[in-house]
């Protein structure tokens, strides 16, 4: 049974058709990285998986449960999914430890001692044992995002969704978050990751999915998608994001005399 099975997914916002028939499966233990131009629908796809957006049509099964079925207990489905967003969304008035324990206590009804133990375990996993008593404002962006990952992990997710988790970070802090994600991938966590970090996708993904204009244009192992892209649109995108832009003097000249 696939962890995620998306079939014929369409999503429109008014007249704007953002997802135009997505078919995608994520198998247990896979790390699937979704890449593509800005506005191609990557975040919307991720948000449909746990019904943060309501699909216009199509089917989404998470661990065999149809999330679009009105009878599905969506909160129960969400409990099995760890979400990590671009923004860390930590509570500023709570310590790091409290940020990692609050949902465990309220949602999973764990007692304080058990929640603290799980928090300590997961803060250690993301390398932040010494920050448990700090407040978010005392941490760097990279550390705050690692707290957000520890918070998600503390809920024992079966699957994790990452929506551009490093986009809000200064470049020197990106590596520490990617290192934590790399560690999770190595542990066999099932991950669906929307990312602009091509090096991460290339090294860590079991499969790379290239989206453009609301559709999956091509997908495959990173060596194939990055090394020998089949579709012209994939090649153009990769050329644009991987190559430094060179504008020759002739091109500048041509532009000026237009």
Ligand X SMILES: Nc1ncnc2c1ncn2[C@@H]1O[C@H](COP(=O)(O)OP(=O)(O)OP(=O)(O)O)[C@@H](O)[C@H]1O
Token output for 248: 């020759």
Which of 29, 39, 111, 227 binds ligand X (CB under 6 A)? It is 39
Which of 9, 24, 32, 40 binds ligand X (CB under 6 A)? It is 40
Q: How far apart are CA 100 and CA 162, in angstroms?
A: 17
Q: How far apart are CA 126 and CA 51, in angstroms?
A: 28
Mark 2-21 with x for binding to ligand X (rule: CB under 6 A) and - for no binding: -----------x--x-x---
Q: How far apart are CA 31 and CA 222, in angstroms?
A: 11
Q: Taking the complex as a whole, how short is the minimal distance between the CB of residue 44 and ligand X, in angstroms?
A: 3
Nearer to ligand X, 116 or 197 (CB): 197
Closest alpha carbon to 159 in 64, 26, 65: 26
Nearer to ligand X, 40 or 166 (CB): 40
Given the rule CB under 6 A, which of 40-48, 113-121, 134-142, 153-161 is the region that contacts ligand X?
40-48
200: Cβ contacts below 8 Å, ≥ 6 apart: 33, 178, 181, 182, 193
Cα–Cα distances (Å) from 50 to 63, 80, 86, 201, 227, in that order, read 12, 10, 16, 23, 32
Nearer to ligand X, 40 or 50 (CB): 40
Q: Which helix (H) or strand (E) holds 8?
A: strand 4-13
Are the C-beta atoms of 74 and 249 separated by less than 8 Å?
no
Which of 38, 245, 248, 250 binds ligand X (CB under 6 A)? It is 38
Q: Is 195 in the site for ligand X (CB under 6 A)?
A: no
Q: Is 50 in the site for ligand X (CB under 6 A)?
A: no
Nearer to ligand X, 72 or 86 (CB): 86
Site residues for ligand X per CB under 6 A: 13, 16, 18, 36, 38-44
């Amino acid at each position: 049974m696939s962890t995620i099975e998306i079939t014929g997914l369409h999503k429109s916002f008014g007249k704007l058709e953002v997802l135009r028939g997505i078919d995608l499966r994520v198998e247990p233990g896979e790390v699937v990285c979704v890449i593509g131009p800005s506005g191609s629908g990557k975040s919307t796809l991720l948000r449909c998986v746990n019904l943060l957006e309501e699909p216009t049509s199509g089917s989404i099964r998470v661990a065999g449960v149809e999330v679009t079925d009105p009878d599905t207990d969506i909160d129960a489905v969400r409990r099995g999914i760890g979400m990590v967003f671009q923004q860390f969304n930590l509570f500023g008035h709570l310590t790091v430890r409290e940020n990692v324990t609050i949902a465990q206590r309220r949602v999973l009804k764990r007692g304080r001692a058990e929640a603290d133990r799980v928090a300590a375990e997961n803060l250690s996993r993301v390398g932040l044992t010494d920050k448990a008593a700090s407040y978010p404002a005392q941490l760097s962006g990279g550390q705050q995002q690692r707290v957000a990952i520890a918070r998600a992990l503390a809920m024992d997710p079966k699957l994790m969704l990452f929506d551009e988790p490093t986009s809000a970070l200064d470049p020197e802090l990106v590596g520490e978050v990617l290192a934590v994600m790399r560690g999770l991938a190595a542990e066999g966590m099932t991950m669906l990751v929307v990312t602009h970090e091509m090096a991460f996708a290339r090294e860590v993904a079991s499969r790379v999915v290239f989206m453009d204009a609301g559709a999956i244009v091509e997908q495959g192992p990173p060596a194939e998608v990055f090394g020998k892209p089949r579709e012209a649109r994939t090649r153009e995108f990769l050329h644009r994001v991987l190559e430094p832009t060179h504008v020759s003097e002739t091109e500048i000249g041509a532009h000026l005399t237009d």
